[in-house]
Amino acid sequence: MKIIVTGSLGDISRPLTQTLVQEGHTVTVISSKPEKQKDIEALGAGAAIGSLQDADFLVAAFTGADAVFAMVPRNYAEPDQLGYYSSIAGNYAQAVQQSGVKRVVYLSSYGAHLDKGTGFILGAHVAEGILDRLKDAAVTHLRAGYFYYNLYSFTDMIKEQGFMGANYGGHDRLLLVAPADIAAAAAEELALPGTGRQVRYVASDERTASEVAAVLGAAIGKPGLKWETFTDEQLKNSMEQRGMPAHFVAGMVELGASLHSGRLYEQHVPGATGRIKLEDFAKEFALAFKKGVS
């Protein structure tokens, strides 16, 4: 198969590209950075250098392909998140229609079934809606959970204050996921013909926030590490005091509130099936913590 992979050589796209090449597929990786071309080619893939904001470029890149792995790169600096997701998803849809691609696997998110109250995840809901309007392509949405690497953002808090904290915590459920497990699921889906519109949930492990803190604490030599639950107002004030943009603060507070209330995971989903568990990630976290990575 001829497969297009978006996302350059990120945490998901790199292992996905490696897997697809090893399976004998002809892979083209889209990147906006010309300096990535050599690295892409070193993996045995072709490189298409251009912008996801350029629909004509995407049409040319998609032409002749059998399947596309589509993702919208995170861009928290963009104040109009819905406009950003709509623009890129719209370009993907246009490129799929005009190129004749028959199979699309879109990296979405848990909570994308909700049309409000989920902060940054609302963009995934909008993108799913746009791709669902494609008439001649089978589309699968990979709704991924809480990325393990988001936990790195707590490094400074642990070092400076001795605990983890957000406007969710305690017994709140976290459906955790490793990029490698998302890549594995994407590779499986891309090789399938697919029919109509489908959703596949991807999670590596399921723990409460308190359990996450305990496992990470044990790994970094801080047994008894706690995950405190802030109020929405406390989190908002803390982020504003650190000079974070208003749109970013609002998005993170709303997202955290949806985790705390359980709304994000209210739709029934299958259990965690990924191979990389919290204890596996904790080893990586401990190494980064000791090196001072935040």
Strand positions, DSSP E, 79-137: 103-109
* Measured distance CA(24)–CA(37) in Å, rounded: 20
**What are 122-151's pLDDT values in tens digits?**
999 999 999 999 999 999 999 999 999 999
**What are 214-244's pLDDT values in tens digits?**
999 999 999 999 999 999 999 999 999 999 9
| Sign of the CA dihedral running 159, 161, 166, 172 | positive
Q: Decide if 84 contacts 72 (C-beta within 8 A).
A: yes
The full set of domain ranges for the chain reads: 2-146+178-202, 205-291
The superfamily (CATH) of domain 2-146+178-202 is: NAD(P)-binding Rossmann-like Domain (3.40.50.720)
**What are 155-200's pLDDT values in tens digits?**
999 999 999 999 999 999 999 999 999 999 999 999 998 889 999 9
**What are 45-104's pLDDT values in tens digits?**
999 999 999 999 999 999 999 999 999 999 998 999 999 999 999 999 999 999 999 999
* Measured distance CA(220)–CA(213) in Å, rounded: 11
- Has residue 293 got a pLDDT over 80? no
Residue type, 60: A
12 token code pair: 């998901």
* Measured distance CA(112)–CA(110) in Å, rounded: 6
| Sign of the CA dihedral running 279, 224, 157, 111 | positive
* Measured distance CA(235)–CA(256) in Å, rounded: 9
